[in-house]
Every structure is written in structure tokens, then in C-alpha cells.
Chains A and B, each alone.
Chain A
Amino acid sequence: EDQVTQSPEALRLQEGESSSLNCSYTVSGLRGLFWYRQDPGKGPEFLFTLYSAGEEKEKERLKATLTKKESFLHITAPKPEDSATYLCAVQAGTDKLIFGTGTRLQVFP
């Protein structure tokens, strides 16, 4: 069964304290892995798409990486405005998009 698991469920960081969020997946025929950011009271906002193992993408303080079993979202020197829930989604060979339950990140000044 296709599955996406995100960890940790919640993460509290001090401003400037770098860390990583994990998205592990078991799907048949990965077509793409997506990262979204969701602020309270808003819908998810697209961040990155990764297609193959070894691929990396960066945007400001965020860097997403992909292996054959998992993806990491690295946050370097986070700021309070990075506080949000980060969602991972995987597109399998069936074209269905499978979401994880998200990691709620809080960055304190």
C-alpha cells in the first residue's frame, strides 16, 4: 500500500537553530515528491517538486533533498516567519497524490 510518513509531528526551534524535517515514503513508481507550506487559516502553498534520487532544490533558507526512500527538508538558520506546517506529498505511478500528515514547525525568537 502506498504510504507517506512525516516526522517529527511537531518541532520547536530557536531562531537560528538549523534542523531537518523528514518525509519517508513507500510507493510504487514514484513520479514526483512535493513539499508544501501551510500557514494557519490558509491553504497549502507549493514549495518544491523533486523527481529523482539525488535531486536537490533550494529556496531561501529551505533545501529539499530526495533519496529512494525519503526526502528531507533542511531549514538553515530559521526565522520566526518560517513557522508553519510543512506537508509532503508523493505522486505514485497511479497518478494519485498521497499526502503526509505534516510537520508543525514553530520558530521562537
Chain B
Amino acid sequence: ETGVTQTPRHLVMGMTNKKSLKCEQHLGHNAMYWYKQSAKKPLELMFVYNFKEQTENNSVPSRFSPECPNSSHLFLHLHTLQPEDSALYLCASSQDWQGPNEKLFFGSGTQLSVL
């Protein structure tokens, strides 16, 4: 496989559930990102990992917990979410962490619905 792969594509969960989103990149990149995309809102950066180390946490509630075991894999653990957390969650990677020449490669996203 090539590019950035996200699973699952769709997820429906109750507010008391615990679930995880998975992202894998096959591009040899060093930086990985989680973004949230809600209707009619700009993409919101949630977390950044550079060489497996978290370099950015954009004031994200603790019910979202990222994990980056290596430069190719990124997880987003979800627990006790709220209905307003329903959105498209996008994983992205770049060669390095958002330097001036960095372009992002996105996965297809996980469409999350919280009931």
C-alpha cells in the first residue's frame, strides 16, 4: 500500500464507548498529524507528532488521547465523547514538521458519529 491509510472509514459510538482510530503512512515521513473537520468549519489541528514525539496539542479535551508508537503509525483513542465530537477525523503526514516547504498528505478520514 502507498500513501496514508486510515481505519475505520466510518464509526458510530455511544457516549460511554471507548474506540480507537488508526492511521498508517507508507511514505517514510517523520511527522504525523490529527485534524478534525466539521461542516462549514476550517480544519482544526489537534495533535502533531514529529519523530514519535508530540510537538503540538491544540488544547484538545482529554477524552481524545493520541498515541504514536513509531513514525509510521498514529492512533487516536476516544472515550466518553460528546455528540459535538461528531466529525471527520483526518490523519496526515509530512516529511518534516510543517517547515515552509512542507505539504501534507492526508488519509481519507474516519467519519465519526457520536450518539
Interface residues of A (CB under 8 A from B): 4, 31-32, 34, 36, 41-46, 49, 51, 87, 89, 91, 95-101
Q: Which residues of A contact B104 (CB under 8 A)?
A: 36, 44, 46, 97
Measured in the bound complex, the distance between the Cα atoms of B4 and A44 in whole Å is 12
Q: How many A-B residue pairs lie within 8 Å, measured between CB atoms? A: 49
- Nearest-CB distance from B30 to chain A (Å)? 15
- A to B CB contacts below 8 Å, 23 in the list: A4-B42, A32-B100, A34-B103, A36-B104, A41-B108, A41-B109, A42-B108, A42-B109, A43-B4, A43-B92, A43-B108, A43-B109, A44-B106, A46-B105, A51-B100, A91-B98, A91-B100, A95-B97, A95-B99, A98-B42, A99-B43, A100-B42, A101-B40
In chain B, what residue has the closest Cβ to A102? B42
Interface of B is mostly: loop
Chain A residue at minimal CB-CB distance from B43: A99
Q: Which residues of A contact B4 (CB under 8 A)?
A: 43
Give the one of B103, B105, B107 with max A CB within 10 A.
Answer: B103
Give the distance in Å from the alpha carbon of A10 to the alpha carbon of B37 in the complex. 17
Q: Across the interface, which residues of A come within 8 angstroms of B41, CB to CB?
A: 101
Partner of B101, one of A32, A89, A99: A32
**Which residues of chain B in 78-115 are interfacial with respect to chain A, using CB atoms and an 8 Å cutoff?**
90-92, 97-101, 103-109
Q: Does B13 contact A (CB under 8 A)?
A: no
A45 touches B106 (CB 8 A): yes
Given A32-B100, A51-B100: A43 touches B107 (CB 8 Å cut-off): yes
